[in-house]
Amino acid sequence: MSFKPTILKLGGSVITDKKKPLTPNLQAIERLANEIAQAKVSSLIVVHGGGSFGHYLAKQYNLTEGYGDPSQVFGFSETHRAMTKLNSLVMEALISHRINAVVVQPSSFMVTKAGRIQSMEKKPLKRMLDMGLVPVLYGDVVLDSEMGFAILSGDQLVSSLALNFAASRIIMGGDVDGLYTKDPKVTKSAKLVRRVTLEELKAQKHDIEGSKVTDVTGGMLGKVRELIPAIEHNIQALLVNATKPQRVYKALRGEKVIGTILDRG
Ligand code: IP8
């Protein structure tokens, strides 16, 4: 029996210290692994971001514009290696909580064209889900048919996986409670918006500025924009603050939780 999967994104800003290069937040990783285990979701795909691992190196080697000179090829290797290091910490935590997690490396089964996912091999992932495995993917450097290579954000992955595997819902665990009327890190009076419709999202009605720290894939603005195709297909997305204990757990359980729901309206 197969269920429609839930797609959970663990933001790089949650599982790493984004201000310190190559620094994981082990406490957060451990807590989130525990929340995922406790929630006992029947079908789940986990995607995590790059934080101070992938973004730091992608910026250092200027990888966002694609292949420019041979020195960047080593940058590809280093950036990918950094992501596998972060991923192995996430995997350790998930496995220690007896989650049937299995790594699926995006660069090995996906190709992009001008930075957008062009093709992917779907069969292994489909079979993993049928088997009750929890595929764990991450933002990665991937081969690109026009640019040589590209940075594939976890957010684009989430949206594409949701569409390709007919997800029941998307849960985005970030470092803010959701979307605000203004940037909450700058404006104290900013108010959390509990629900945003597709129309409002497209009109950019609320404050969804890009993040201020190193993020080569566009921060909050990039995140919500990427979700539009999935929301158009009636897949609801919920933004929650994964730095706060129990929010991801409640979201996975379908319980009432502080956050922003994005839906077709
Ligand atoms: O943190 C980016 O993934 P994101 C991954 O989900 C790299 O945007 C390699 C920078």
| pLDDT on residue 85 | 98
Ligand 1 within 6 A of CB of 224: no
Exposure of 256 by Cβ count < 10 A (0-12 exposed, 13-18 middle, 19+ buried)? exposed
| Packed helices 71-96 and 26-39: angle between N→C axes, nearest 10 degrees | 50
- Atom 8, ligand 1: residue with shortest CA distance: 153
Q: Is the separation of the CB atoms in 201 and 193 below 8 Å?
A: no
Q: Which of 62, 64, 83, 149 most suits a substitution to test ligand 1, by most atoms within 8 Å of the C-beta? A: 83
- Do 16 and 54 form a contact (C-beta atoms < 8 A)? no
Helix (H) or strand (E) holding 92: helix 71-96
What angle do the packed helices 71-96 and 51-60 form, to 10 degrees? 180
Residues with Cβ within 8 Å of 67's Cβ and at least 6 positions away in sequence, in order, are 73, 147, 148, 149
Residue-wise pLDDT tens for the chain (265 aa)? 468 999 999 999 999 998 999 999 999 999 999 999 999 999 999 999 999 999 999 999 999 999 999 999 999 999 999 999 999 999 999 999 999 999 999 999 999 999 999 999 999 999 999 999 999 999 999 999 999 999 999 999 999 999 999 999 999 999 989 888 877 777 888 888 899 999 988 887 666 654 555 566 666 766 888 999 999 999 999 999 999 999 999 999 999 999 999 999 8
Amino acid at 106: P
Answer whether 140 contacts ligand 1 (Cβ < 6 A).
yes
CA of 164 to the centre of ligand 1 (A): 20
Among the listed residues 240, 259, 265, the one whose alpha carbon sits nearest the alpha carbon of residue 193: 259
Q: Is 11 in the pocket of ligand 1 (CB under 6 A)?
A: no
Q: What is the pLDDT of residue 215?
A: 60
Considering the entire predicted model, what is its pTM?
Answer: 0.94
| Rounded distance from Cα 1 to ligand 1 centre (Å) | 33
Taking the CA of residue 83 as reference, the ligand 1 atom at the shortest distance is: 9
